[in-house]
Chains A and B, each alone.
Chain A
């Protein structure tokens, strides 16, 4: 139908259960434990997805609309390392892919975004265009269909309170918590991390103390993109690497960050729990079609009621980073 000679025929927004993989649909009404467990997993997934976006925005004030594209690209790079070139060992491929994604993010800032820093709309359009270019470039380069998959770290599953959970999801939860702890330590006990926080809290004062604003922005984009890559290698083994997921990741990241308050970390976590549980509940009691509707409605309602988000008191210093 849509192929009927649309000049510029659009990328179809395919409904994809990209992070749930092969899990059976929740057969609910009564299985409260399953809702709880999958709610937690879903929430941590969401916070992993949006962490990079939140970090970049809070430090450099760049709304990185290429986030979803970087996510997919990291997955694809890992796949390439595993299957195309000399088959790297899995952990090595992962580290390499994350590092490469981080470098690409840094280069993106250094050569493109640095020139339009501060012009918010230009930043949005430019990062969005870059993201679109990456995603459609990958599609053109052959990333089509469901054939691109990453193997799970540890195969198999375990029963917890009657709910079937595969080891990969347990690893996701563990690494999600781990990455939060590491980031906390990094931003509180490391000179570079402290510099990042300084810039996030008050750019002028930080610059007066000799912190280079552009340098911290480059670092923040590198870390943010690296986090997107990290989320990708963790989550993509659950499904397959598909271009459309890139758009979905971007929407989820924006949803979480807007609801939590753009530029607030605590808000990001809280918001991902709100959306995560809301999604699982709608999936359990309505149908999985509504997952995206929930996220989008949440954005719209939040922006209407409290545009700065739950925790987004833009003036309050400790809420950033």
Chain B
């Protein structure tokens, strides 16, 4: 039989009920089918430091991986659930990092106070600074968020405040390696599953409404700006936490916290991992960051490589890895005659 008259048919598995995320479970095997991938992810990430015990350098890479995963999570949430494309993720890391440095070095607060304070304070500050831009949409919001970290960098350089180009040094480090590692791993898992919860609640639905058609949201008597404000607060909360963590990890806060890497790698992760899935952001950064470590010997050539990967994905496989995997996992495929 020639291929011309065949087509691929995709059928959802039996336990899926009409919509995403609602299942009719009838056996322990089906429970395992649903829990399997999740447990694999959680268990794998928690065990990762033990597995990498042999390679201390790579343990550090895991920290960075998780930081980028958090930033990617925040980008994914803003872009695919609220429709605000924020090209300046480094804005959040920079604000969080500098705040924690001020709390820790200048005010002498211990690390377990400075990070939470910087996270909350940074989120409030970022939200307040972004408040005037919230009526903007699409490409305009993207441009303005791209400009914010640049502006802050230039202001710090020009006014020579906050340590100028040298930055603030002498931050406390974490008590020991395991605290350092598990602080970020556990927070990442908490944020990941917390965000999954959050976007599936009523408020998540409203946020998606803001993305798809803000006029109809307004017509329903909901203040669009309030909703966007809430979303930006959540996203910058995550971003500021990772910024504060990075600052303590390197015991240093400087203008590198506003660097392009904190904006571009999370975006690339989301594109590669699959936008709108939240887990995809994690997977993307778990692929990209080790890749860029392996390519470290090439110097700036690795930026070329992951730009090429990014462009390739965005042009040829814009759904991303996670969406593809989900489709394969949740559906049968078979050839049928046309």
Chain A neighbourhood of B155, CB < 8 A: 293
What residues of B have a CB within 8 angstroms of the CB of A137 in the complex?
300-301, 304
**CB-contacts of B138-191 with A (<8 A):** 138-140, 142-144, 147-148, 150-151, 153-155, 157-158, 166-167, 169
B90 to chain A, nearest CB (A): 9
CB distance from A140 to the nearest CB of B (A): 4
A112-120, A174-182, A264-272, A273-281: which lies at the interface? A112-120
Cβ A299 vs Cβ B144 within 8 A: yes
Q: Which residues of B contact A63 (CB under 8 A)?
A: 139
Contact of B303 among A125, A136, A289 (CB under 8 A): A136
CB < 8 Å neighbour of B136 from A122, A296, A303: A303
Residues of A near B293 (CB, < 8 A) are 7
Shortest CB distance A35–B (Å): 20
Interface centre among B136, B143, B151 (most CB of A within 10 A): B143
Interface membership of A6, Cβ < 8 A: yes
**A48 on the B face (CB < 8 A):** no
Say yes or no: A125-B157 contact (C-beta < 8 A), given A6-B250, A11-B259: no
Bound Cα distance A133, B153 (Å): 23
CA distance A13 to B252 in the complex (A): 18
B142 in contact with A121 (CB, 8 Å):
yes
Q: Are B142 and A133 within 8 A (Cβ)?
A: no
B301 contact set on A, CB distance < 8 A: 136-137, 140
Interface residue? B315 (CB, 8 A): yes
Contact pick for A7, options B259, B268, B292, CB 8 Å:
B292
CB distance from B252 to the nearest CB of A (A): 7
Return chain A residues, CB-CB under 8 Å to B298.
140
Would you call A129 and B143 a contact (CB within 8 A)?
no
Give the shortest distance, in Å, between A7 (CB) and chain B (any CB): 5
Q: Which chain A residue shows the least CB distance to B144?
A: A303
Residue in A closest to B135 when the chains form the complex, CB atoms: A307
Chain B interface, DSSP helix/strand/loop, else mixed? helix
- Neighbouring A residues of B265 by C-beta, 8 Å: 8
* Cβ-based interface call for B299 (8 A): yes
> Is B85 at the interface (CB under 8 A from chain A)?
yes
In the complex, chain A residues whose CB is within 8 Å of the CB of B208: none
Report if A133-B252 is in contact (Cβ < 8 Å); known contacts: A7-B289, A10-B260, A116-B314: no
For B89, list chain A residues within 8 Å (CB): none
Q: Is the CB of A80 closer than 8 A to any CB of chain B? A: no
Q: Which residues of A contact B271 (CB under 8 A)?
A: 125
Contact of B240 with A by CB under 8 A:
no
Return A287 CB to nearest CB of chain B, in Å. 7
Does B73 touch A at the CB level, under 8 Å?
no
- Residue of B133, B157, B316 near A289 (CB, 8 A) is B157
